[in-house]
Amino acid sequence: MRPKIVLASGSPRRRDLLASLGVPFEVKSSQVDETFDGTCSPSEVVEDLAHRKAMDVARTCDTALVIGADTIVVCDGEILGKPRDETEAVQMLSKLQGRAHQVYTGISLVEVLEGQVIRERVSHRMTHVWMRPLSDEKITWYVDSKEPLDKAGAYGIQGLGACLIEKIEGCYLNVVGLSVAELDQMFADLNYSLVQ
């Protein structure tokens, strides 16, 4: 029998993705510091942050499968997290417009049995994204919508931000914030099924 699933994320996108699969789960947002070592690779950053989030919540669980995740956008080697304010959102979108960038999402799956961590899996996915050339007016319109303010790289592909994206190469749900295919494989690696 599969233990209860706990999502260690306050992200509405991740909650919606799991809910769309019909997967019963609880949400317990982690309280970890999301700063990272700037010398690490993007894949190392997202895997570390996802794992820190999962472990933070795992410590509060008795028996569970805890999912942690983190998403960043990378353009010209620069890691873009969530914008601090509207000005930074404009700066990020101005940098991304008309160009290709990469979206990395790290996933950590931690199995807890009777208060003890017994198994862990950490992975990531990367998707190439091409943003359309954008006018200053289009960027202002989007930032004024408030949608970019809680999203890595200052955009969400699943909302109004879909208007900004020309094409992608790779997993779409990875850009939304959680590669369901990758998570399903991680569950299988631990001899569980995500969706049954």
**Residues forming the active site:** 70
Question: What are the φ and ψ backbone dihedral angles of 13, each rounded to 5 degrees?
Answer: -65, -45
Give the chain's length. Answer: 196
Identify the burial level of 196 via C-beta atoms within 10 angstroms of its C-beta, where 0-12 means exposed, 13-18 middle and 19 or more buried: exposed
Q: Cα separations (Å) of 15 from 5, 8, 36, 50, 193?
A: 12, 10, 24, 15, 18
Residue with tokens 């990531």: 124
Which residues 6+ apart lie within 8 Å of 175 measured at CB?
Answer: 103, 105, 127, 129, 157, 168
